[in-house]
């Protein structure tokens, strides 16, 4: 099988979404994020900051506690690699589902990601994460 850095980089980005959906926070910390990550979800009202991978996972875990299921679909990857740095652009949707919501059981986020990775001794890891919301649909508060 052909093994390339580009495939390795895309695999890490796919793991970000799959492990988030399964709430595999330990795998995100060990296989996806670098220890410190430039984290920007300001398009959703969040702060731009440097965070540890543990802090990001704690933030997401808390945010998903009242949601029954999360499903990310990502694609249209554009990957540029320069030595030990990679830049990935991706489209993605995230659907959140809550069975007990009475005003609609789902909400969907549609947007793009700007993700940067660095090559470490243990492989490619995300060290910059920016989400760019285009629009939301559905029951935005899941109430």
- What's the pLDDT tens digit per position in 64-120? 999 999 999 999 999 999 999 999 999 999 999 999 999 999 999 999 999 999 999
pLDDT for residue 2 = 60
* Neighbour tally for 91: CB within 10 Å: 15
Calculate mean pLDDT across residues 42-61. Answer: 97
Calculate mean pLDDT across residues 3-30. Answer: 96
| CA angle at 93 for the pair 4 and 76, rounded to the nearest 5° | 35
Whether the model clears a pTM of 0.85, i.e. scores above it, the answer is: yes
**DSSP character for 93?**
E
- What's the pLDDT tens digit per position in 28-51? 999 999 999 999 999 999 899 999
CATH number assigned to the domain covering 5-138: 3.10.450.50
Do the beta carbons of residue 128 and residue 38 sit within 8 Å? yes
Q: Structural domain boundaries of the chain? A: 5-138
Calculate mean pLDDT across residues 129-133. Answer: 98
SS3 string of 7-47? HHHHHHHHHHHHHHHCCCHHHHHHHCEEEEEEEECHHHCCC
pLDDT for residue 75 = 98
Q: How far apart are CA 132 and CA 73, in angstroms?
A: 15
The DSSP secondary structure of 69-86, one letter per residue, reads EEEEEEEEEEEEEETTEE
């Amino acid at each position: 099988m052909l093994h390339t850095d580009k495939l390795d980089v895309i695999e890490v980005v796919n793991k970000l979404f799959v492990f988030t959906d399964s709430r595999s926070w330990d795998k995100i910390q060990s296989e996806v994020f670098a220890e410190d990550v430039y984290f920007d979800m300001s398009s959703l009202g969040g702060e731009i900051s440097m965070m540890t991978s543990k802090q990001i996972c704690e933030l997401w875990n808390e945010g998903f506690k009242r949601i029954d299921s999360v499903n990310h679909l990502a694609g249209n990857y554009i990957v540029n690699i320069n030595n030990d740095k990679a830049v990935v652009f991706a489209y993605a949707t995230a659907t959140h589902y809550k069975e007990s919501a009475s005003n609609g059981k789902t909400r969907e986020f549609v947007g793009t990601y700007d993700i940067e990775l660095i090559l470490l001794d243990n492989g490619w890891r995300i060290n910059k994460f920016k989400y760019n919301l285009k629009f939301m649909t559905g029951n935005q508060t899941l109430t």
